[in-house]
Amino acid sequence: MSQLSARAATRRNPFRWRPDQQWEAYLFILPSLIGFLVFVFIALVASLGISFMDWGLTGPRGVAGLDNYRELLRDPVFATTFRNTAFYIVTIVPLQLVLGLSMALALNQAIRGRDVFRVIYFLPVVTTIVAGAIVFRLLLGRNGPLADLFTALSSWLGAPFSFPDLLGSTRYSKWSVVLLTLWKNTGFTMVVYLAALQGVPKELYDAAHVDGATAWQRLRHVILPLISPTTFFLFLLQTIGAFQLFTEPFVMTRGGPAQSSMPVVHYIYDNAFLFTRMGKASAIAWFLFIFIFGFTLLQNIWQRRWVYYETE
């Protein structure tokens, strides 16, 4: 009975030390654990405290209480950056999923040079985002090669068209950021979808083909249901990434013109390091964290219910 009690206690408490455990394994994870505690956990707790303070770049200037959070509710720039972030989510996430799945379906076929195309489409993922943003800024600028080509083509056709100011216009600046983000991240979506497609049993394809199902019917009734966990994973990952978008608009447009392309994370950066308002920046960061956490929780609940109804 004593041995059974000890085993039951071990099952109830998975963190209880057992003599048969090798303590050397804990030494290997110790550097990562210390790094997480110092640079993530302690910084996270500290930022929560700073959000209730009037904190400058070098230290506290006083206690703000809830003033930093109240200010966000009447800050027009914060509202603009939040709308910009919502725009990035509703454009980047669906386009990236559709393009990534389309590329994966095409490159999952037995076509000539398939491996070469896979490498080419994945290359932007391993490219430095700052370098890619600089190249896009030069390409899409008013004096860039695309503008010169457009001007030459308009002159040759005799059409009075002018190249739109993609980076300096409040109408097109966000779309320039969307274009860069799709170029950078769609290859990752393609690779994940490729792995999911190769996990679909070939017998299901053959059975659907024998039953006379068209390509669209095979996609709708065979492929999409079986890769739905992958789609949910990518949707959640890309949505969180769109919430945290920063480098692309920061390098390409500096958030302009008139904050038309500035996301929330860029506004956190400006408050922290340009306006030296660490308290307000921490409040925005915690507001964003709570929003992302709530969104992720709702998506998990929805996904579980969807799987439940599908299996009934």
145 vs 250: CA distance, rounded Å: 22
Per-residue model confidence (pLDDT) at position 245: 92
pLDDT digits (tens, 9 = 90+) for 88-98: 999 999 999 99
**CA angle, corner 292, sides to 291 and 294, nearest 5?**
65
Radius of gyration of the chain measured on its C-alpha atoms? 25
Q: What is the largest CA-CA distance in the chain?
A: 95
pTM of the model as a whole = 0.83
H helix and E strand count, the chain: 16, 2
Beta bridge partners of 256: none
What crossing angle do the helices spanning 173-198 and 114-126 adopt, rounded to 10°?
130
pLDDT digits (tens, 9 = 90+) for 228-255: 889 988 999 999 999 999 999 999 988 8
Reported residue count of the chain is: 312
279 vs 67: CA distance, rounded Å: 10
Per-residue model confidence (pLDDT) at position 17: 55
**CA distances (Å), 158 to each of 154, 162, 163, 241, in order?**
6, 12, 14, 44
Spell out where 137-271 has E strands: none
Helices (H), 20-113: 24-36, 42-50, 67-73, 76-107
Domain residue limits, the chain: 71-311
Per-residue model confidence (pLDDT) at position 266: 94
Cis peptide before 263, with omega less than 30 degrees from 0?
Answer: no
46 vs 291: CA distance, rounded Å: 19
The topology under which CATH files domain 71-311 is MetI-like fold (1.10.3720)
Q: Which residues of the chain have pLDDT under 50?
A: 1
